[in-house]
Structure 1
């Protein structure tokens, strides 16, 4: 008999937590586990078909906002009863709040994955998180920084462990032909440097600083190009700044993309400008794809990237240094190539998605058996 695991998540759009779900499902032992997924924002569904293709069972329980989501506890309880769910696995605070309410009614064990540090949440979110945190079986931080934040801010009675995010290194391998083809499609000269990022366009990612840094670099190296893959609430503001700085012919916005391999393959440098992070999936994917990393020291980034080894780092908000670090790699191509090689090796040795999946399965077995 297979153990039935229900993932509860606010949306199935293209965020880091959401992208991990089909990636991990493809590697899970589905002879031992059956995976279900409930999400609430029907307009954020980019991962739905991919999860279904991998054998997952997906259900949308529509909710327009966080308060409506919390009120869906009865429908989730009904789903659990109908499908005989054994374990709930919740992602991010509002799904976590819901899962803990389901636990109070059903006593189904709950695993909660935290993707951000507590200090970055709204005071109300932090309060509810702290008040309800012990109404679950186990919490997992995606980085040591996230785990430390939970312990210091909440001091929970339940186990809190670190389970580092991982990347499927077999899939995320640089494809030079696809990179060249994408450059040709966008009208980027084949020999030109490309700086890129793949992200949800929200405040956390600080993409206005990304554009400012690119503008500084472009003044000294006018032949470079930029690619920003994604979408989100800050999109208009970002594009307005691009227009204001007269960069509309140099920075491309291809929108949301299901297949990101060609985009990573076209990038020489992956520039991350985030104000804060847990452990960003796109960063690990970029490293696996042999992109040279230039990033802020945001959260778990420093657990993956060692300065002057797998990338060049600066303080969050310091876009001038971000630009200077990129120019350093343009000026010293031999250094960029070494960083690209080290980045791939770092992911292979320390951030294997298969290892992450096996560790997660061990925790599922432990909880299922009441240990």
Structure 2
């Protein structure tokens, strides 16, 4: 039987959450039924390429210097689809979504688009181009109820399905074997570790994260802070650490295996202004790291206050530190029960197997409806 050929289109293959899901889902997909192709545009953001190729995916870079030259690739993408017998285009993130819809219209192929964030939070031009091309797609897959509701309010599209992200719960487990990091172990000592794994963007409000560390240091609390990632906000983070002369933050930078660092974390702190459904959050919870998060995007779908984590009432650093003191250091809360409940939530509802099964069902239904 001929395989069903799916083309994923994404702006880059760096270490963002959406990008890292592509090789992880490919490892689980039924590759006797499906064949997966991948197109990306930023050649300097290629960290996921080898992982996808090792899992059997076919990766091509249509080089683009900016968003305008990215959109001009639509004819090449349409030709790629024709030459390779592509049957479904599946796009991720806004600019890739726009060019995928243009290519799909030319190639007369169904286009699926995964909405990873709240549409209302995008730049004005991004919203306009997305809205203009939205009619040229077949189905939208929203990773959170928040993302789904934002599209429904605007009445941009009628066929929107909730498909939450998933993680490999077998790998992201407290019981897994990870690298021993001697310098990290020396740094954290016997203290509790508050961590984050993220692309350092403005929306993440890492200035708040650093301010929490500053207040914890002022109060001489037994906390250490571990930051894993890289991005445009790194200069700000470094300048704040230097300005406050903080001794309790370890900047790990961009890492090939963030889980090696996550194993040292007790708390996963998210201070973002907005989110979709962070893959790193799901990975952390699967490793029994207790989430402390601002209640934005799809986070409240997963984190239930005082049941499997803590939903922060504000981004006020005094409030956050107070919560950390009470829940992590205080004897009133059974911190161990929060750890177990965090993993149980991911195993039950957010496994990569569940996500892949839902995607394959959608792919099959879309093709069946076109016949």
Taking structure 1 as the reference length, the TM-score comes to 0.95
In 2, Cα distance between equivalents of 1:285 and 1:173: 9
Cα separation, partners in 2 of 1:93 and 1:267, compared to 1, 3 Å: same
What corresponds to 1:254 in structure 2? 252
* CA-atom RMSD in angstroms: 1.6
3-state SS of the aligned residue for 1:134? helix
In 2, Cα distance between equivalents of 1:337 and 1:168: 22
What corresponds to 1:174 in structure 2? 174
3-state SS of the aligned residue for 1:258? coil
The answer to whether the Cα contact below 8 Å between 1:175 and 1:261 also exists between their aligned partners in 2 is no
In 1, Cα distance between equivalents of 2:132 and 2:317: 38
3-state SS of the aligned residue for 1:370? helix
2:271 corresponds, among 267, 270, 273, to 273
Q: CA deviation at 1:316?
A: 5.1
Q: CA deviation at 1:322?
A: 2.1
3-state SS of the aligned residue for 1:293? strand
What corresponds to 2:225 in structure 1? 226
Structure 1, unpaired ranges of 5+: none
The answer to whether the Cα contact below 8 Å between 1:6 and 1:37 also exists between their aligned partners in 2 is yes
What corresponds to 2:194 in structure 1? 195
1:263 aligned onto 2:261: yes
Q: CA deviation at 1:257?
A: 1.3
Structure 2, unpaired ranges of 5+: none
In 1, Cα distance between equivalents of 2:155 and 2:14: 29
In 1, Cα distance between equivalents of 2:309 and 2:122: 28
The answer to whether the Cα contact below 8 Å between 2:208 and 2:317 also exists between their aligned partners in 1 is yes
1:308 corresponds, among 301, 306, 309, to 306
The answer to whether the Cα contact below 8 Å between 1:313 and 1:322 also exists between their aligned partners in 2 is no
In 2, Cα distance between equivalents of 1:175 and 1:352: 17
Number of residue pairs matched by the alignment: 368
What corresponds to 2:296 in structure 1? 298
What corresponds to 1:244 in structure 2? 243
3-state SS of the aligned residue for 2:112? strand
What corresponds to 1:327 in structure 2? 325
3-state SS of the aligned residue for 2:89? strand
Q: CA deviation at 1:254?
A: 1.5
Map Cα deviations across residues 67-90 of structure 1 (whole Å, 9 max, x no partner): 110011122122112211111000
Taking structure 2 as the reference length, the TM-score comes to 0.95
